[in-house]
Chains A and B, each alone.
Chain A
Amino acid sequence: MNRRQFLLLATAGAIGSALGVSTLMKRAVAATPQHLFSATDNPAGGHFLTRLDISNGQMQSVAVPMRGHAVLPLADGKVLMFGRRPAFESVAVEFGEGSTTPIKAEAGRHFDGHGCLSANGDVLFTSENAYDAKRGVLGIRDSKTFQHLGEYDTHGLDPHDIHLMPDGKTLVVANGGIEQHPDFGRRKLNLDTMQPSLVYLDAATGQKIDEYRLPDHHLSIRHLLVTPTGDVGVALQYEGDLYRTQPASLVAWQASGSDLKLLDISREAIAPFNGYMADLAYDAAQDILAVTSPRGHHVTFWSVREQRFLHATPLPEPSGIAFQPEQGAFLVSDASGNLNTLSTNQQQASASLLHQFPDRLWDNHLVIS
Chain B
Amino acid sequence: MAERRIEREDVDAFAAGAALLGAGGGGDVRVGAHLLRHLLAERSLRLVPAADLPPDGIVVHTGAVGSPDVISERLLSPVDLARAAAAVAEQVMGPIRAAAAFEIGGLNALVGAIGAIELGLPFVDGDLMGRAFPKLTQNTLALHGVAPVPLAVASPAGDVVVVPLMGPRAVEPILAGITAGMGGAASVAGYPTTAGDLARLGVRGSVSACLELGRRFLAARSAALPVLVADLGARLHGVGRVEEIVPRHGGTPGTVTVIDSEDGAVVRVDHQEEFLATAVDGVPAACTPDVVAVLDNRSRRPLQVEEVRVGQAVVVCSLPPLHAWPDSARDLVGPTAFGLVGMEDR
| A, B in one complex | no
Q: Please give the residue numbers on chain B whose beta carbons come within 8 Å of chain A beta carbons, in ascending order.
A: none
Q: Please give the residue numbers on chain A whose beta carbons come within 8 Å of chain B beta carbons, in ascending order.
A: none
